[in-house]
């Protein structure tokens, strides 16, 4: 029952699961805000200064409680906001609260498909935003490839991009020199604090919530040893798992070895694994030939950006039966011996689909980076080079100082 209240207007106001969930979403957002002192202080200043007055900001980011606090900052700072999320990660209660309490134009629901997601990205862009905040470069891609939004190439003031996946796409796939895109994940604070400590904790939390299995003694293969992968491997080891890292980059693989992890290839590591986690940001990391190597009752999870890190189509095609056996666990029976492979959350981000995402305090830092980056674009976009680039150093240091003030010196 997805609502589209203003269908008679040129563009809809929102498309969410159920506006009646708003009161529960408000409670979630209030709880998050009570643990986000950095964002709370920014909200007070932005409400006075109104740096976003008269501007429309189009956003693609996970619609959950911490994001709700960010929406408060932007709307009280004067912005009109259109927001969409990602498949499997939306908190419908939060989406409803953002529509009802903050006037945000939200296009997202928990059960949306990837096709829905792209349609919702188009809804966001239909508001002709002055600035975009992207997550995986999906908004950027539409601006560069869809004629309906090509005019934004000349009108957009600037953008932020949350992820390494999106940064790679901007630098490798698109001619993204029309405006400055500040890459949040290029900051050391984001990589070290949010990715290593936040993602690592939330991935383990999501897997345990989804499965209720013990991690102690499990043989776990972590594919990808970037900041998110290394944090995940470290948290798994801390829970008593025996972790093997698969990494294509030789230097990063050496880093994993020096930090005490087993390193191997997929072909050698998979047959002995109890659990396999992808966290690369690349497509088709696990395919038919890899599923064939896995042993009976292997648990498979994705913690990278896109669902398509795991080729679910090939997994479905090669399986004789599929059964949802827990809310976030699907069993696939494969081969003559009918071995079972257990896929978590349909290969959506396990920490957000089966859990609540990164810890609140971690996202206090990450969303402060986003907020101050958007403010820089709104007030002084001309000072930024028109290429994908790191967040300005003074912003990163400001957020680091605020984090120390509230986390260490408080």
* Contact (CB, 8 A) for 233 and 245: yes
Q: 97-113 b/e with 16+ CB inside 10 Å = b? A: bbbbbbebbbbbbbebe
* Contact (CB, 8 A) for 263 and 245: yes
How far, in whole angstroms, is CA 48 from its chain's centroid? Answer: 30
Q: What CA–CA distance (Å, rounded) separates 130 from 340?
A: 49
- Alpha helices by DSSP H, 146-301: 152-155, 164-172, 188-189, 200-211, 227-238, 250-258, 266-269, 288-293
Helix (H) or strand (E) holding 366: helix 360-380
- Among 132, 76, 100, 74, CA closest to 16: 100
Q: What CA–CA distance (Å, rounded) separates 86 from 116?
A: 9
Annotated binding site: 163-165, 226-231, 247, 303-305, 351
C-alpha to C-alpha distances, 120 to 15, 150, 339, nearest whole angstrom:
8, 17, 38
Sheet with 339-344: strands ordered across: 262-263, 242-246, 219-223, 275-278, 298-302, 339-344, 329-334, 319-326
C-alpha to C-alpha distances, 372 to 166, 314, 394, 398, nearest whole angstrom:
19, 43, 10, 9
* φ, ψ (nearest 5 deg) of residue 246: -110, 120
Annotated binding site for NAD(+): 163-165, 226-231, 247, 303-305, 351
Q: Which residues pair with 97 in a beta bridge?
A: none
Q: Which residues contact 113 (CB under 8 A, 6 or more apart)?
A: 87
Helix (H) or strand (E) holding 376: helix 360-380
């Amino acid at each position: 029952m997805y609502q589209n209240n203003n269908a008679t207007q040129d563009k809809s106001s929102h498309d969410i699961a159920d506006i009646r969930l708003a009161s529960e979403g408000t409670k979630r957002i209030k709880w998050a805000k009570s643990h986000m002192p950095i964002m709370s202080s920014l909200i007070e200043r932005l409400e006075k200064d109104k740096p976003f007055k008269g501007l429309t900001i189009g956003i693609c980011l996970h619609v959950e409680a911490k994001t709700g606090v960010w929406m408060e900052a932007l709307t009280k700072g004067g912005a009109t906001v259109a927001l969409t999320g990602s498949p499997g990660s939306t908190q419908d209660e939060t989406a409803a609260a953002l529509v009802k309490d903050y006037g945000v134009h939200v296009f997202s629901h928990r059960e949306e498909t990837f096709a829905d997601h792209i349609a919702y990205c188009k809804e966001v862009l239909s508001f002709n935003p002055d600035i975009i905040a992207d997550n995986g470069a999906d908004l950027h891609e539409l601006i560069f490839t869809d004629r309906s939004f090509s005019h934004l190439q000349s009108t957009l003031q600037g953008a932020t991009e949350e992820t390494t996946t999106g940064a790679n796409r901007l630098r490798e796939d698109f001619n993204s020199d029309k405006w400055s895109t500040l890459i949040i994940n290029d900051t050391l604070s984001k990589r070290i604090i949010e990715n290593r400590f936040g993602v690592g904790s939330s991935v383990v939390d999501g897997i345990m919530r989804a499965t209720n299995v013990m991690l102690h003694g499990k043989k776990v293969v972590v594919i990808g040893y970037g900041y998110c992968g290394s944090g995940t491997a470290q948290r798994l080891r801390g829970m008593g798992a025996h972790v093997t890292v698969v990494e294509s980059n030789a230097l990063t693989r050496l880093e994993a070895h020096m930090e005490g992890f087993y390193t191997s290839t997929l072909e050698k590591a998979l047959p002995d694994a109890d659990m396999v986690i992808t966290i690369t940001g690349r497509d088709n990391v696990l395919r038919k030939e890899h599923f064939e190597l896995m042993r009976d009752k292997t648990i498979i999870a994705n913690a990278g950006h896109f669902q398509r890190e795991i080729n679910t189509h090939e997994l479905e095609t090669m399986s004789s039966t599929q059964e949802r056996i827990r809310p976030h666990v699907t069993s696939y029976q494969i081969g003559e011996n009918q071995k079972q492979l257990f896929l978590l959350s349909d290969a959506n981000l396990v920490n957000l689909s089966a859990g609540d995402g990164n810890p609140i305090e971690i996202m206090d830092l990450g969303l402060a980076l986003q907020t101050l980056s958007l403010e820089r674009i709104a007030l002084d976009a001309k000072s930024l080079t028109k290429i994908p680039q790191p967040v300005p150093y003074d912003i990163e240091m400001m957020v680091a100082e605020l984090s120390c003030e509230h986390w260490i010196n408080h």
